[in-house]
Structure 1
Amino acid sequence: MDIAAFLGLFLGVIAIVGGNILEGGNTSHLIQAAAALIVFGGTLGATLLSFSVRDVFNAFKSLRLVFGGRPSAPSEIIEEILGILVKARKMGLIALESEIKNISNPFLRSGLSLVVDGMTPAMIKDVLYQEISTYEENMKNAADVLGAAGGYAPTIGILGAVLGLIQVMRNVTDPTKIGGGIAVAFVATIYGVGSANLLFLPMARKIMNRVKEEAFIRELIIEGIVGIESGVNPYFLKTRLNAFVSEHDRSE
């Protein structure tokens, strides 16, 4: 679980609601079903018009990258790779077949399966780098969906504000209906701007940051897997892998 993501969302909402209360506002006034329908329904419609249903569905699935845990620390991955290398040098690469099922990282597990299958380092790199490329493309598409929603929401919010003001003008002779129309108008704007800048755009950025972190870990794993296949000296591989990471992330 990513504490920063939950904390950021919580602070953003509290700041807006708290500011409204300090100004003498009532929290219940920020809850408008009509405004929510206009903004979120309109934003979803515009997003579906821009992307496929599968793209939008995958974008929702990718939210686990926003609120889920971070990728494994580089030092943990390096230690695991070195442990596997030592076993491979003692028992042979075929012996790794029984170890694969105990490995939690799916990318490392996939790479070791290629080693056991007898693929050359060049073939292993080709397959695994293609996996990274496909992963990055899929996640970039998910971030694009959320980024697009972040662009549409404020505009749809303005549209909701205009619709609310139209109702105000239509009922200008009836004071009892003016307040409701104005409420929808301004709350729709809050929903549009707020959801874009507190949800959609930050989540799109977070996904891209997580993709960079995961891609780096996977590239580190590829170097380790090639070292395992080649049977290099553990100290050499440790030194090489540590060269990829910052000093505080290195394996001791």
Structure 2
Amino acid sequence: MTGLISLFLGFGFLLLGFMGEGGHASALVSWTPLVIVFGGTIGSLGTSFTPKQLKNIGRILKVAFTRKSADLVEVIAYLNHVLDKVKKEGFLSIEAEVDEEEKMDPFMKKALLSAIDGVHPEELRNMLEIEASMSFKRHKVGAAIFDSAGGTAPTMGIVGTVLGLIHVLGGLASADMNALGGSISAAFLATLYGLGSANLIFLPIGTRLKNLGKNEQLEKEIIMEGITLIQQEVSSTIFIETLKGFLDKKDQAKLEERYLEHVELEG
């Protein structure tokens, strides 16, 4: 949601600045440069990517604007809770809890259920690494689509402006000088559409998808390492100290605080 709000704010401030200089919003609207810029960009994407990749754009946009990065401290705290329960009562003790938790991350649920089923640690890790790798590749493809659009749209904008100027200059001899300024202004709208869409829509979405992919990959690495340690039934201290290495300094402090609270409650 914050991404959508930021998107609207970006366009809003541009429009506000334009109107502050005495411009009118209606002067920024024209369908011909819109067709040239976005039609050309769509054509370029159709050439660069397969239909199978492009048909997922709706889902990719949903991920970009609705998915939140996981709280890694909470992920580790939950895995530590699982470790304590497994050490006391065995893996079967968490089966009902995992099955009934509908909001649990699917990757986490798959990892835990596989461990409950007795999959060997090495085989389980290989299986999870393959799934994590494929998930990261899907994020990279989504980001690449929007990065490509961000590179193409400004070029299409220049093409649109050149086409507009060719039309204007071709009829310059017989042109109405009062209408000439408006025609030239309309020609430059294509450049505006191309640069605006690239820098406020396509490239930011591509960057957002790459960041989400990196955060998701880190979460999956924590889960894989955590499940391996749970299967080894290591001590909670070793568990926390090992997984703490995945976090930044701020989250490390939060995790240590959570762990001390956990120890006090257990005591």
2:38 corresponding residue in structure 1: 40
**Consecutive unaligned residues in structure 1, runs of 5 or more:** none
2:180 corresponding residue in structure 1: 178
Q: CA deviation at 1:68?
A: 2.1
8 A Cα contact 1:132 1:215, kept in partner:
yes
1:130 corresponding residue in structure 2: 130
2:56 corresponding residue in structure 1: 58
Give the RMSD, CA atoms, in angstroms. 1.8
8 A Cα contact 2:164 2:184, kept in partner:
yes
2:121 corresponding residue in structure 1: 121
**Consecutive unaligned residues in structure 2, runs of 5 or more:** 259-267
Q: Is residue 154 from structure 1 mapped to residue 154 from structure 2 by the alignment? A: yes
1:71 corresponding residue in structure 2: 69
Structure 2: how far apart are the matches of 1:61 and 1:226? 32
Structure 2: how far apart are the matches of 1:133 and 1:197? 29
Structure 2 counterpart SS, 1:152: helix
Alignment of 1:226-241 (within 5 A): 226-241=228-243
Alignment of 1:206-221 (within 5 A): 206-221=208-223
Structure 1: how far apart are the matches of 2:186 and 2:231? 64
Structure 1: how far apart are the matches of 2:52 and 2:28? 32
Structure 2: how far apart are the matches of 1:144 and 1:59? 11
8 A Cα contact 1:168 1:182, kept in partner:
yes
TM-score w.r.t. the length of structure 1 is 0.92
Write out the 4+ residue segments of structure 1 that deviate beyond 6 Å after TM superposition: none
Structure 2: how far apart are the matches of 1:197 and 1:246? 30
Structure 1 counterpart SS, 2:55: helix
8 A Cα contact 1:171 1:177, kept in partner:
no
1:110 corresponding residue in structure 2: 110
Equivalenced residues, count: 250
Structure 2: how far apart are the matches of 1:247 and 1:151? 36
8 A Cα contact 2:95 2:116, kept in partner:
yes
Q: Percent same amino acid among aligned pairs?
A: 35
Q: CA deviation at 1:179?
A: 4.7
Structure 2: how far apart are the matches of 1:107 and 1:48? 32
Structure 1: how far apart are the matches of 2:186 and 2:156? 13
Deviations 1:172-208 (A, max 9, x none): 3242653553233111110001111111112111111
Structure 2: how far apart are the matches of 1:238 and 1:96? 20
Structure 2: how far apart are the matches of 1:161 and 1:247? 50
Structure 2 counterpart SS, 1:104: coil
